[in-house]
Amino acid sequence: MSVWPVLEDSELSPRAAAVIADIRATRNTDFINNFWRVLANDPALLERTWASLKEVMAPGALDPLVKEMLYVAVSIANGCEYCIRSHTTAARAKGMSEAQLGELLAVVGMASETNRLATGLQVPVDDAFLPKK
């Protein structure tokens, strides 16, 4: 029971339907997950979010699998169950092994631990870590 209904294909406005069609074409699959079906209630929000995501997650200087793993890591830190589950599924589909997931989790946990220690102790940044300019 989401705040806005999960729209079926037949309930989409023409503007939302065009975005959903582009998601299907880009991902080469008929499956549309609930995130997009709920955003579809606000076509402008759907359109802008998809346009950004499509651009950000496209192949570039980083490997697509690395991007997915970064997405999972941030979603854990932000505490978003939906995002953890959907992007973990996506990362597995792109080849993430369970051993890699285990190491990802270990890094996320370790980073959160040392983040708190550095913050709690207010450790001053070393000159070596500061840009020259």
Nearest approach, Cβ of residue 95 and a second copy (Å) = 11
Q: Please, which of residues 63-102 interact with a second copy by CB under 8 A? A: 66-67, 69-89, 97-102
Does 10 bind a second copy (CB under 8 A)? Our answer is no
Nearer to a second copy, 14 or 59 (CB): 59
Is residue 72 packed enough to be buried (19+ CB in 10 Å), middle (13-18) or exposed (0-12)?
A: buried
Nearer to a second copy, 25 or 78 (CB): 78
Is residue 79 within 8 A of residue 112, CB to CB? The reply is: no
DSSP 104: H
At residue 125, φ and ψ (nearest 5 deg) are -65, 130
| HSE value, Cβ hemisphere, 13 Å, CA-based, for 75 | 18
Q: Of 25, 28, 30, 133, which lies in the binding site for a second copy, with binding defined by CB under 8 A?
A: 133
Does 125 bind a second copy (CB under 8 A)? Our answer is yes
Does 18 bind a second copy (CB under 8 A)? Our answer is no
Map residues 19-48 to x or -, x wherever contact with a second copy holds by CB under 8 A.
------------x-xxx--xx-xx-xx--x
Reference 94, options 121, 62, 126; nearest CA is 62
